[in-house]
Amino acid sequence: MPEGLENGSGIEDNEEVELLNKPRPTAFNNGFVSNVDKESEKLGKDEALEPFLKFFRPAESLEVEDEGELGVSEEESDEVKKVGVEYYEPKPGDFVVGVVVSGNENKLDVNVGADMLGTMLTKDVLPLYDKEIDYLMCDLENRTEEFMVYGKMGIVKDDDAMSGATVPGRPVVETGTVLFAEVLGRTLSGRPLLSTRRIFRRIAWHRVRQIKQLNEPIEVKFTEWNTGGLLTRIEGLRAFLPKAELMKRINNFSELKEYVGRRMHVKVTRINEANNDLILSEREAWEMMHLRDGTLLEGTVVKVLPYGAQVRIGDSNRSGLLHISNMSKSRITSVAELLKEDEKVKVLVVKSLFPDKISLSTADLESEPGLFISNKERVFSEAEEMAKKYRQNLPPVSAPRNIEPLPADALSFENEESLYANWKWFKFEG
């Protein structure tokens, strides 16, 4: 009787538990390595691979095999057609498209056309951090106008998904979901390691570079503050506005803290993706919006001079010069007789001879020469209409802006076949 059965066990003491029919190069006998079975040494390469070739046979070969079982000669059924299988070779930094085939609450198994399924951890599936959710989540039922803006990137809010609790063993996305990701490398087991979060951040930086290239102010909402300035999010990326770039001078931290929750127009002034630097300026945005030729502004006279008046613009710390020659189309003998300090006025921004100076005018708001001298209140009441006429008479074609070119390594979304390294391994059907 075999020794294994005498001690009541169907497995020998020194036998390893393994998968059924698992190929092994050596055999064990009482804990010592013995020679490989001579019969297995005689097996050729084709014979050794024959049990696995059926998984790679084309449809025609499968039909032939079925016919063989029904009476086709054994010679035809034994003829195995050799097929070549070409896999995508993932490289760190590649952008790929994949399909979720399985997963759990911790990770996903994603097919990207490689020899092994890719692995994506749950934290790399969603392109969000906790504080980015509130900014990117689009509530189309209650805040449609805010999010239906051309070029804005966001995620549509699903109340059912947001209210649902996490189910143990259930993946964060359903099987069959198509994901776009970046290859980070390979795991210890050799599987490609993927991240959707990484590619979303790359796209976000690309969008921010486009915003800077357009050289136009954008509106943001500040969510945090620190001793140096204010913090917000643009396309989910953290952006910083130094307090020196605010229009109002900050005297203490209490004044700075009051900006949290406010919306403000800013301009992107500096980008450094490597250092995660995204710097903003309210001052430059304000100048672009309010100091264009023909802009109507409200201000306060802060100082009366022999040759004009210094006017503070709105609630800002910026001021411009209302020169005596721009006050009226009629001759003025004394500025002090027309304007007083702390007086509220409406002025028009006009082209200045000096680039760094703000030139203002009330003469262009007069509907008739000398009206500012005889009836200032009427000039201010007709200011909107006169400013509109002034802008209509401006040259229709403005000077072209110097638009900064995008970096040479910027992403190109025009050709998806070249953007995604494994594009040809997938077939998309309409």
Where do the domains of the chain lie?
18-78, 95-203, 216-287, 292-392
CA–CA dist 235, 217 (Å, integer): 15
CA–CA dist 341, 293 (Å, integer): 25
- Tokens representing 1? 């009787």
pLDDT in tens, 292-305: 888 899 999 999 99
Please tell me if the domain spanning 95-203 has the same topology as the one spanning 292-392: yes
Q: What is the DSSP letter of 404?
A: P
Which of 150, 160, 155 lies closest to 125, judged by CA?
155
Which of 241, 317, 227 lies closest to 279, judged by CA?
241
CA–CA dist 188, 352 (Å, integer): 66
Which of 208, 278, 200, 270 lies closest to 239, judged by CA?
278
The pLDDT score that the predictor gives to residue 226 is 93
Is residue 87's pLDDT more than 80? yes
Which of 407, 414, 356 lies closest to 212, judged by CA?
407
Q: Span 95-203: which CATH code?
A: 2.40.50.140
Q: Which CATH class is domain 292-392?
A: mainly beta
For residues 56-81, give the mean pLDDT: 50
Of the candidate ranges 213-217, 300-304, 316-320, 345-349, the one whose mean pLDDT is the lowest: 316-320
Backbone φ, ψ for residue 226 (5° rounding) = -145, -175
Burial call 142-168: b when 16+ CB within 10 Å, e when fewer: eeeeebeeeeeebeebeeeeeeeeeee
Is residue 9's pLDDT more than 50? no
Is residue 211's pLDDT more than 70? yes
Is residue 414's pLDDT more than 80? no
Contacts of 70-74 with CB under 8 Å at 24 or more apart are none
- Tokens representing 105? 């609450």
Q: What is the DSSP letter of 424?
A: G
At the fourth CATH level, the homologous superfamily of domain 216-287 is Nucleic acid-binding proteins (2.40.50.140)
Q: Report yes or no: 343 and 301 within 8 Å, Cβ to Cβ.
A: yes
With bands split at pLDDT 50, 70 and 90, how would you rate the model's confidence at 125? confident
Which of 234, 212, 362 lies closest to 301, judged by CA?
362
This prediction's pTM:
0.61
> Do the strands 192-195 and 178-186 form a parallel or antiparallel pair, or are they unpaired?
antiparallel
Q: Report yes or no: 264 and 219 within 8 Å, Cβ to Cβ.
A: yes
**Residue type at 195 in one-letter notation:** S
Of the candidate ranges 50-59, 138-147, 200-209, 218-227, the one whose mean pLDDT is the lowest: 50-59
